[in-house]
Structure 1
Amino acid sequence: MKKTLYFATILALVSTACSDSILNKIDTNPNIISDAPLNTLLPAAQMTTFQRVVSPVSILSGYTSEHTNFTGVNTATKLQVGGGGTIWNNGFLAIRYFNDVRDKADKLQRPGYSAIADIMSAYTLSLLVDVFGDIPYKEASREDIIQPNFDKAQDLYAEMQKLLDSGIQKCDQASAATSRPANDDLVFKGNMTLWKKTAWALKARLHNRLSNVSAQESANQAILAINNAFAPTENFTVSAYQSNPENANPIANNFMNAATIVIADGIVTAMKSFLEPNEEVIADPRANIWFTKIGNKVVTPPTSRGNTDVTLNGTLYSKPLYLQNRPSPLPLLTYPELKFIEAEAQLRLGDKTKAYDAYQTAVRSAMSQAAIFNAAATLTSTQIDSYLARPKVLMGADKLTLKDIINQKYIFLFIFQSQEAYNDVRRTGLISLNDPDGTAKRLPYPVDEISRNANAPQVSDQNTVYQDNARLFWAKL
């Protein structure tokens, strides 16, 4: 948020009795290119979200979901040092960019650009709301408001659905080639059909998030949205990353530069739950392409604080192999996730047959995408069939449980999508975790936001985010 980004500078100058116009000039980020043409502004906005919001959210969510862990620092410190300010500031910056894209596109009557701005705004907003809860969305860009009010998270969920509905409508209006982007759209190159399906996929995800708020309504709405979303080969994925650090997958690049990441117990426990009691996790074929091994075993720290191994390839604890591939695509919302959502929704509605059909499709599709980070490691059909033949994996419609669905989804989300795993950890309470610090209910607000804005919620710092009253409105944990 712009006021937050430069608050320290403003505070130092207040005592000199500067005018508002001077302060506003000082408070202007010279890197913001709001007056740029659409074909420059759109990719800048998209990359702000992908590189500077998705990446830190996913990295911190890896720790809070116990997909991953790093050097023996407790989780509360990780959240405060690694998260709040970066995600917060860049999230609001990205939303401002998309507002500029929308305003300019509407003036120029280019609905394709405006549609993408709506859909990307909803996606970026969802990242912020799902990790912080209440945020000052509506007043954040007001120049005349120093201490913006915080909007309720549940109200912002309704706002996100409105943005997606608007984006869908505008996709239908962008029939002329001149009305939509081309290569300046970094995701679909101006393919408005895929953007429309992405909007429906996001609607499904957001509806399903409300399973504890309205079980049947959320299920019905999620299924309706899924019916309009991705086909099996379609995903909301950012591709074309390169091996050089400047143009790399941001999550992989982060851990190539900070190589203290290791595997946490959460992912190993989930994978073992579908194996026999005497089997090592490497009996799951994904473990062999996801984790480094110590003595032919996957070894995790004894607790979430236990890692003291700071070498990239690891001599004490196993590391995730996918984080060592800078050119990896970055999946944001995929067909397998939608099938897991469908399975869960059908189970809530009491249709075990449809739930099981969707679950089978989800697991098979998840296995086929397990090596998205490295095509050379793709699992063979024989490996996939052998895993699916396990009685704990495909147990039959009558024995399928919500925990089975959520655990398989949690495993699939290990590849660059820990933010959704963290959401399911809190929403369902079904993932087995062992962090001695407990599960953070949300990320702490940046320290300067708390100190400068009297409207910031009280449940907001690195200590209070573990309290029950910090739980988000849609969560069980």
Structure 2
Amino acid sequence: MNFKRITIGVLVATMTVLSGCQKGYLDINNNPNQVTAATPVLVLPAALSSSGAYFSTNFTFLNLWMGYWNWSGNYSIATSDKNYQFTTGYNTGIWDSAYIILKNYDYIDTQAASLSQPQIQAMAKIMKALHFQILVDTYGNIPYTNALKGISNAQPSYDDATAVYEDLFKQIDAALSLFNDADKVAAQGGTVVNPGSNDIMFQGNINKWRRFANTLKLRMLLRQSEKSDRQSFIQTQLATIKASGYGFTQSGENAAVNPGYANSSGQQSPFYGSYGNGVNGQPVENYNINRANKYAVDFYKAENDPRLSRFYAPVAGSSSTYNATYFGTINPQANSLVSGIGPGLLQSASQSSYILTSHEAFFLQAEAAQRGWISGTAQTLYQQAITESFLNLGLTAADASTYYAQALNNVGWDASSNKIQAIITQKWASLNGWSPYEAWSDYRRLGLPAVPISQDPSTSVKQIPIRLFYPQSEYNYNSTVVAAQGNINQFTSKIFWVK
């Protein structure tokens, strides 16, 4: 990463580089080259906003890989985007933007510690753990221990991915301890700085943060479910989660940020602004480029799933016809003949940016319960997860219960012969557009569901990639260290937990 170009001023001025929010929106310091001492409570909303934009827009290419979207026939698309033969220049924002965001949270962490603001410090630690987790899950070994020291260590070493994962649990535990410390201070009549509305994700609700933290832990533990050498670690961490007594994300508790998105220039919600309509009400180019994928459309149709009309828009001139093509097809269809992104995903210019949805949280709990890891009834959690998906798309709980009451494999609980497969299949069905990254992670971990590979004739390796390359910025500015990681192959260089 190019640490030589990351200055302290970046900590409070880089919230707009990720996409979605244009220059000026949520900027705290208009001069990124000027060193500024901003209080943690003022940096927090900008940092959370940048995280929202990051997760809303950096991983949408995975909608193609995971069977949700396809390219429009109205556009000529680069072959490298259709056959998985990408380079070190592919989606580099996933790496570069993450480390800038991490610098923001590291600033909040250290400044909050110096000012004795444990609640704000804990929030920063949890968000740091989240971003580092995604980096590990995407690249494997990464700069970690020395990664955020700026020009004092401009060429940081790489840490072992497994070791990073294990330390992330320690960081989350440290955050939970800080919340507890704050509780003790408050109980003794002391003053505790709560960010309140400056916490644009949970509005200062510490119990929601605690449940979010435990849910992140559960996600990381499930990543490792298929590795026999990780089972002891998993059980130890599950015991810690149980002992905390905080539980997991509850119904309606989407981890979603909203600093006040509006249908004004530079203030639209990042996903909507990138894939919906512009301020003028006309579809943006990315809406026209991205069309429905036949694999998902056929799935929703076969399962009598009303979410079809929320994930996709009907074809032009119809109110109920949904058409699609497979990813990489040699016969892509014109926009008027295939469905676009639907109203359940493109709700409004003011919609929140989602970091971890309630439906993902319940699917995590359902899988953990089915594996015997946590208490609770797997069927109840599974059905609640489906319900949360329906509610988040603007449907009703009654719609959900009608759906999962069907005696269909991978839909109805009793009708499903393989419960883990049913959970992961329904989880995949719910993540369309919301979080294709999590669908990709489950696919790498379990091979579920059987998403078809690109149909492009130049697809020589018949496999969805299991990782990305380190970005070109690393080879430019940290070449010796990154070269020590060896020759990376997107199909065979496994993340430590990949099946």
TM-score (norm 2): 0.77
Aligned 1:354-373 pairs, distance under 5 A: 354-369=377-392, 371=393
**Which residue in 1 is equivalent to 2:279?**
none
Structure 2's unaligned 5+ residue stretches are 7-30, 277-283
Alpha-carbon distance in 2 for matches of 1:184, 1:352 = 35
Q: Say which of 116, 119, 125 aligns to 1:112.
A: 119
1:237–1:333 Cα contact (<8 Å) kept: yes
Amino acid aligned to 1:188: F
CA distance in structure 2 between the aligned counterparts of 1:343 and 1:425, rounded to whole angstroms: 17
From 33, 41, 48, the counterpart of 1:39: 41
- The residue aligned with 1:298 is 322
Distance 2:153 2:451 in 1: 42
Consecutive unaligned residues of structure 1, counting only runs of 5 or more, are 7-28, 276-282, 372-377
- In 2, the alpha carbon distance for the partners of 1:78 and 1:49 equals 28
Query: 2:362 corresponds to which letter in structure 1?
Result: K
Residues 361-440 of structure 1 aligned to structure 2 (within 5 Å): 361-369=384-392, 371=393, 378-392=394-408, 393-396=411-414, 399-436=417-454, 437=459, 438-440=463-465
The reply on whether 1:448 has 2:473 as its aligned counterpart is yes
Partner of 1:63: 64
Q: Structure 1 residues 137 and 401, CA, compared in 2 at 3 Å: closer, same or farther?
A: same
Instruction: Indicate if the aligned counterparts of 1:245 and 1:326 stay in contact, CA closer than 8 A.
Output: no
- 8 Å Cα contact 1:207-1:219 kept in structure 2: no
Q: Distance in 2 between matches of 1:364 and 1:125?
A: 30
How far does the alpha carbon of each residue in 1:6-25 deviate from its partner, in whole angstroms, 9 at most, with x for none?
7xxxxxxxxxxxxxxxxxxx
* CA distance 1:41–1:383, change in 2 (3 Å): closer
Displacement, 1:323?
A: 3.6
Distance 2:397 2:447 in 1: 33
User: What letter is aligned with 1:332?
Assistant: I
Residue 349 of structure 1 is matched in structure 2 by 372
TM-score if structure 1 supplies the norm length? 0.81
Contact conserved, 2:68 with 2:295, CA < 8 A, in 1? yes
Whether the 8 Å CA contact 2:44–2:198 is kept in 1: the answer is: yes
CA distance in 2, matches of 1:36, 1:182: 17
* Inter-CA distance 415–270: structure 2 relative to 1 (3 Å threshold): same
Secondary structure of the 2:356 match is: strand
Secondary structure in 2 matching 1:106: helix
Partner in structure 2 of residue 17 of structure 1: none
**8 A contact 1:220–1:345 mirrored in 2:** no
- Pick from 253, 261, 269: which aligns with 2:273? 253
Q: CA 1:245/1:284 → structure 2, altered by over 3 Å: closer, same or farther?
A: farther
CA-to-aligned-CA distance 1:211-249 (integer Å, 9 cap, x gap): 112476547855974861222232212234323352222
- Distance in 2, matches of 1:160 and 1:66, equals 31
Residues 3-58 of structure 1: CA deviation (Å, up to 9, x unaligned): 2757xxxxxxxxxxxxxxxxxxxxxx93586621223222222222222x213433
| Shift of residue 439, structure 1, vs aligned partner | 0.7
Counterpart Cα distance in 2 of 1:211 and 1:30 = 43
Query: What is the percentage of aligned positions where both structures have the same residue?
Result: 25
In the TM superposition, structure 1's runs of 4+ consecutive aligned residues that sit over 4 Å from their partners are 31-34, 76-83, 214-217, 219-224, 305-310, 350-353
Shift of 1:425: 1.4
Residue 82 of structure 2 contacts residue 327 of structure 2 at CA under 8 Å; is this kept in 1? Answer: no
Aligned residue pairs total 431
Return the alpha-carbon distance in structure 1 between the equivalents of residues 346 and 99 of structure 2. Answer: 27
* Cα distance change of structure 1 residues 115 and 454 upon mapping to structure 2, 3 Å threshold: same
1:319 aligns to 2:337 (yes or no): no
Structure having the higher helix fraction is: 1
Name the amino acid aligned to 2:363.
Answer: F
In the alignment, residue 121 of structure 1 is paired with which amino acid? K
Question: Residue 480 of structure 2 aligns to a residue in which SS?
Answer: coil
Q: Does 1:235 align with 2:254?
A: yes
- The AA in structure 2 aligned to 1:156 is V
Letter in 2 for 1:169: S
- Offset at 1:140? 2.2
| Corresponding letter in the other structure for 1:93 | I
2:205 counterpart residue number: 191
Change in 2 beyond 3 A, CA 1:77/1:402: closer
Q: Does 1:157 align with 2:162?
A: no
Partner of residue 54, structure 1: 55
Structure 1 residues 343 and 302: alpha-carbon distance in aligned structure 2, compared to 1, 3 A threshold: closer
Q: CA deviation at 1:79?
A: 5.8
Amino acid in the other structure paired with 1:458: G
Match of 2:182 in 1: 174
Tell me if the contact between 1:340 and 1:358 (Cα under 8 Å) persists in the aligned partners. yes
